[in-house]
């Protein structure tokens, strides 16, 4: 089902967001490594956000502007040594919330997981 268009790190909404969140699994290992900082985490995870776009249904809404702001902030943190692990925590939670809200918008009935 893949399209012919090429992307180095994924394009669309849910797919690149999922790839971004896959880096959350590596988060705890990296956090305890003194040679690795929050900016390093964003440097690998935010690559998946270059071709990340809000769903078509909300591209011209206030919500889309917020999503693009989050994306741009994550990309900016790739080269910003002042970002913190708290910024990583917030970015991961925001991405999870985006997927939850996408389910709501597409009339699915999501339920927050106890072990998110």
* Predicted confidence (pLDDT) per residue in 65-98, tens digit: 899 999 999 999 999 989 999 999 999 999 999 9
Copy the structure tokens of residue 83. 């970002």
1 part of a folded domain: no
pTM: 0.84
Q: Look at residue 1 and tell me whether its pLDDT is greater than 60.
A: no
111 part of a folded domain: no
Query: How far, in Å, CA of 24 to CA of 92, rounded?
Result: 7
17 part of a folded domain: yes
Cα angle value 70/11/47 (rounded, 5°): 55
Range of the domain at 46: 11-105
39 part of a folded domain: yes
**Total tally of structural domains belonging to the chain:** 1
Task: Confirm if 13 and 51 have CB atoms less than 8 A apart.
Answer: no
81 part of a folded domain: yes
113 part of a folded domain: no
């Amino acid at each position: 089902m893949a399209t012919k268009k090429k992307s180095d790190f994924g394009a669309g909404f849910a797919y690149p967001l999922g790839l971004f969140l896959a880096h959350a699994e590596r988060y705890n290992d990296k956090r305890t490594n003194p040679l690795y900082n929050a900016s390093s985490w964003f440097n690998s995870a935010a690559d998946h956000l270059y071709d990340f776009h809000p769903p078509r249904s909300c591209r011209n809404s206030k919500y889309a502007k917020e999503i693009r702001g989050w994306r741009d902030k994550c990309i900016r943190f790739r080269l910003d040594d002042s970002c913190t692990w708290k910024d990583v925590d917030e970015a991961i939670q925001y991405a999870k919330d985006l997927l939850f809200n996408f389910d709501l918008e597409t009339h699915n009935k999501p339920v927050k997981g106890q072990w998110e």
